């Protein structure tokens, strides 16, 4: 019996409170996440084609760059690195040795998902469509008779199939296959993928279902994938298996492993956990699965646990850029407030997982804090990982690179690479950017909610009629957002606009006239009969902010980060006078920091100009008593958006700037 009441949490204005099912419109809820007709969720995502990004806005440029550069680059590298060759070998069409990581199939599946989302908005791309169709057919040929599909365990280690759940990533790869198939089904491309994925999913139900093997995967991902497959097909055993995997986690089934059971989030039942632990990507994917299952089953305890763990992560273990993961050793969360900027692991996939999790929590609860966190992760933690040419990537994303840093290897700080031996991040970026339009807005019977501001348009069915709102803005460079209601029903409906948590003051005008519109729970709620052509102008004040960390974050005590709007800024060696050592720069906290456009950087961003000085602390490494810095020459310096660092040259960089000593 499905429970139909979740915990009583506040919903955003203009949306239905928790505790009532989210209805589906005539177009269906066909975005990256699609709660079913009976789901207990506050918001309904828009369907494919109901949101559009203009190419002249920042998000639109990111999506276009992804389509023109990142996605073709991923396809090329799947062939070059051997991922496609592995599948040909599994299909018996090649005798080449297996190449790459044992979970290399997952990169194929993520790229397929990216291609499907891209084809939903650019169906004329013949090469991309051929890639989807040809690869789907290859996967079908590589699939074994019982439905099993994994090239590594077919070609390289057939005797190890299902033998090492802590290590094998078999269910992880299956999860990405399923998500690619769901995307293909929702966008109408690669129909054979759904059949392939269902054959594998049916095998999983048979093996791991109610009377089957008690096992979980060392890398969560299958849980959210099975929930989406249930949403697509209505086949309840998929959802039941997703819930079973959650129920089994925390019983130590994976063993201690190299880093202990907390690394796998297998140290205690998910509903009892109080702190995020272990590998950051795995933890965030697990939380996403918990939310998906919670809204489909109506189980309040599961959603409450996900929100509780979110609070621990965001309030004690997340970088100012929205990045997750402090430790290189196990790609993991650290202790509370353990957030060293120069040793930040901050894996790109973790920032992407944060976007996925926060979107799900936003749909489930309607709470603005999840949209705020999704925006922070997107504009900083994710965006920094991609070069301006769309073909080079960071795996880890430090917040500081020291002068004289001599790191080497693929994860060397300050150097984006075109591909990695563990290439999980580039295809993951591709699938998020290809579906970026799906995260802009949501709908409900009562109205439309705008969460991310970008030039384009959003459409939905409200009160039985089609609604379309066109958006023009230079956000995040400017806080002015112009919205025009192009169509709507002849009855009152609500347009809800998010006021980001960083914004302390704003104005609203409708058809040029000022409107008193207090924000409630993070949203302005505007309810009326909207005549076609009505304009709304939201002006979000966007002053420069000096952000300080909790004093328990020892590594950045005495420092501030500069931020404006949703963007975090950083200093780069490229903007300092020759001979200046970045670590000697001090910020004058009393001096005004100004913002202005800069035409010579990619995308003509707004940069910040600040004043300070160069400190002189002497040459001795240690000294008796309290070391006093001597004030040096005054200095005017530039801070650039963090997501743009490393595009001009390799060199030192820092987000956290020491404050000049006073007195």
Query: What would the pLDDT profile of 410-462 be if each residue is shown by its tens digit?
Result: 766 678 999 999 999 999 999 999 999 999 999 988 999 999 999 999 999 99
- Collapsed DSSP state (helix, strand, coil) of residue 266: coil
Of 424, 503, 559, 570, which one is the catalytic site residue?
A: 424
Q: List where CATH 1.50.10.20 sits in the chain.
A: 254-385
Predicted local confidence at residue 30, as pLDDT:
67
Tell me if 324 sits within 8 A of 317, measured CB to CB.
Answer: yes
Return the CATH fold of 447-540.
Immunoglobulin-like (2.60.40)
- Collapsed DSSP state (helix, strand, coil) of residue 519: strand
Is 331 among the residues known to form the active site?
A: yes
d(CA 115, CA 217): 27
What is the percent of the chain with per-residue pLDDT over 90, rounded to a whole number? Answer: 85
Is 170 among the residues known to form the active site?
A: no
468-484 tens-digit pLDDT? 999 999 999 999 999 99
Predicted local confidence at residue 411, as pLDDT:
63
> Does residue 250 have a cis bond before it (omega within 30 degrees)?
no
pLDDT for residue 551 is more than 60:
yes
DSSP character string of 595-614: EEE-TTSTT--EEEEEEEEE
514-543 tens-digit pLDDT? 999 999 999 999 999 999 999 999 999 999
- Collapsed DSSP state (helix, strand, coil) of residue 523: strand
**Residue 54: how many other CB atoms lie within 10 Å:** 18
Predicted local confidence at residue 18, as pLDDT:
32
Tell me if 485 sits within 8 A of 3, measured CB to CB.
Answer: no
Tell me if 500 sits within 8 A of 347, measured CB to CB.
Answer: no
Closest CA to 324 of 332, 337, 599: 332
The number of residues in the chain equals 663
CATH architecture for segment(s) 254-385:
Alpha/alpha barrel (1.50)
Q: Please tell me the pTM assigned to this model.
A: 0.95
159: Cβ contacts below 8 Å, ≥ 6 apart: none
61-106 tens-digit pLDDT? 999 999 999 999 999 999 999 999 999 999 999 999 999 999 999 9
Q: What are phi and psi of 366, to 5 degrees?
A: 75, 10
Residue with tokens 């090492």: 164
Of 170, 296, 299, 331, which one is the catalytic site residue?
A: 331
Between 26 and 639, the higher pLDDT residue: 639
Q: List where CATH 2.60.40.1180 sits in the chain.
A: 447-540
What is the percent of the chain with per-residue pLDDT over 70, rounded to a whole number? Answer: 94
């Amino acid at each position: 019996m499905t429970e139909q009441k979740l915990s009583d949490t506040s919903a955003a204005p203009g949306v239905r409170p928790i505790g009532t099912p989210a209805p589906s419109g005539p177009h269906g809820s066909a975005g990256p996440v699609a709660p079913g007709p009976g789901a207990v969720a506050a918001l309904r995502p828009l369907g494919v084609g109901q949101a559009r990004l203009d190419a002249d806005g920042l998000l639109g440029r990111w999506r276009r760059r992804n389509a023109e550069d990142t996605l073709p680059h991923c396809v090329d590298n799947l062939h070059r690195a051997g991922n496609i060759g592995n599948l040909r070998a599994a299909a018996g069409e090649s005798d080449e040795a297996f190449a790459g990581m044992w979970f290399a199939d997952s990169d194929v599946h993520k790229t397929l998902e990216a291609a499907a989302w891209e084809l939903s908005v650019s169906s004329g791309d013949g090469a991309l469509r051929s890639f989807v169709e040809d690869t789907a057919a290859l996967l079908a040929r590589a699939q074994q008779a019982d439905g099993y599909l994994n090239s590594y365990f077919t070609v390289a280690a057939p005797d190890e199939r299902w033998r090492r759940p802590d290590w094998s990533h078999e269910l992880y790869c299956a999860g990405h296959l399923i998500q690619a198939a769901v995307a293909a089904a929702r966008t109408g491309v690669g129909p054979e993928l759904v059949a392939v994925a269902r054959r594998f999913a049916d095998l999983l139900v048979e093996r791991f279902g109610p009377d089957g093997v008690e096992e979980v995967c060392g890398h969560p991902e299958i849980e959210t994938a099975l929930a989406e497959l249930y949403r697509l097909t209505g086949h309840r055993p998929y959802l039941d298996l997703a819930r079973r995997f959650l129920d089994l986690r925390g019983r130590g089934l994976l063993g201690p492993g190299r880093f202990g059971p907390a690394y796998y989030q297998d140290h205690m039942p998910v509903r009892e956990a109080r702190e995020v632990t272990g590998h950051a990507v795995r933890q965030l994917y697990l939380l996403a699965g918990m939310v998906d299952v919670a809204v489909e089953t109506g189980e309040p305890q599961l959603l409450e646990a996900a929100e509780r763990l979110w609070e621990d992560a965001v309030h004690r273990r997340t970088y100012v850029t929205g990045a997750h993961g402090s430790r290189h050793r196990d790609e993991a969360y650290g202790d509370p407030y353990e957030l060293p900027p120069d040793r930040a692991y901050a894996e790109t996939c973790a920032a992407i997982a944060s976007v996925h999790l926060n979107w799900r929590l936003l749909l489930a609860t309607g709470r603005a804090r999840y949209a705020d966190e999704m925006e922070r992760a997107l504009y900083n933690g994710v965006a920094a990982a991609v070069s301006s040419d769309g073909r080079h990537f960071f795996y880890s994303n430090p917040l500081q690179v020291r002068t004289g840093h001599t790191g080497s290897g693929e994860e060397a700080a300050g150097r984006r690479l075109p591909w990695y031996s563990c290439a999980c991040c580039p295809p993951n970026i591709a699938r998020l950017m290809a579906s970026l339009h799906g995260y802009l807005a949501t709908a409900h019977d009562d109205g439309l909610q705008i969460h991310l501001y970008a030039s384009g348009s959003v459409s939905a069915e409200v009160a039985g009629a089609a609604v379309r709102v066109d958006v023009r803005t230079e956000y995040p460079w400017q806080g002015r957002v112009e919205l025009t209601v192009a169509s709507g029903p002849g009855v009152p409906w609500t347009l809800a606009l998010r006021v980001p948590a960083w914004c302390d003051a704003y104005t609203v005008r409708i058809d040029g006239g000022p409107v008193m519109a207090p924000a409630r729970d993070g949203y302005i709620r505007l309810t009326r009969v909207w005549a076609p052509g009505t304009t709304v102008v939201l002006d979000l004040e966007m002053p420069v902010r000096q952000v300080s960390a909790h004093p328990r974050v020892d590594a950045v005590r005495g420092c501030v980060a500069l931020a404006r709007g949703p963007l975090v800024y950083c200093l780069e060696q490229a903007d300092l006078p020759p001979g200046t050592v970045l670590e000697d720069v001090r910020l004058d906290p009393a001096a005004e920091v100004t913002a202005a456009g800069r035409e010579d950087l990619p995308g003509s961003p707004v940069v910040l100009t600040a004043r300070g000085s160069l400190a002189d602390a002497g040459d001795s490494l240690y000294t008796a008593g309290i070391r006093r810095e001597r004030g040096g020459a005054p200095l005017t310096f530039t801070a650039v958006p963090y997501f743009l660092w490393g595009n001009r040259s390799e060199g030192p960089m820092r987000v956290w700037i020491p404050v000049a000593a006073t007195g």
